[in-house]
Amino acid sequence: MKKNQDLLSVKSGNRQKIILKMKFTLFFSDGVCISGFSHCIFPATKFNFDIRNEQITGVLKQIESTSNYRFFFQREQVDVNRTVDLTASNNTVEEILDELFKDQNISYRVLEDDLVLLLPEVHSRRKFSNQQ
């Protein structure tokens, strides 16, 4: 009988640990779900500004300073020193980037956590086959 009581006390100790682990797991998984669906729940950030004779780097810095967006690019591949005139009136970042790079061979990809990759467009893409 004593042996069974010892097992019960060990099990209750383990039970408390398991419950604590479950609480932490639930807490952290809720945070991941909320951050993953934040773009669906919260409307996209809209921008309003009137910029004259500003380098593209200045426009990108203004977007970064007024939002959670961050830009990643290689200066050798993207001409961000080009000056532009841009008026944004309740525009999304995608609309602004489309306008900034409309005559350039630059594409962009918005990733998780509002990281925006600026990349040179590739006009000819090689197809690779699995056959050797």
**Tens digit of pLDDT for each residue in 99-126?**
999 989 999 999 988 999 999 987 433 3
- Which sequence spans correspond to the domains of the chain? 2-40, 43-120
Tell me the CB-side half-sphere exposure of residue 99, using CA atoms within 13 A. 17
Helices (runs of H) and strands (runs of E) counted in the chain: 4, 5
As beta bridge partners, residue 120 has 106
**What average pLDDT does the segment 11-25 reach?**
65
* Residue 98 in tokens: 């489309």
Bridge partners of 118, per DSSP, are: 108
pLDDT, averaged across the chain: 76
Rounded to two decimals, the pTM is: 0.60
The sign of the torsion formed by the CA atoms of 38, 102, 59, 119 equals: positive
**Rounded to an integer, what distance in angstroms lies between the CA atom of residue 13 and that of residue 7?**
10
Look up the CATH architecture of domain 43-120.
Answer: 3-Layer(bab) Sandwich (3.55)
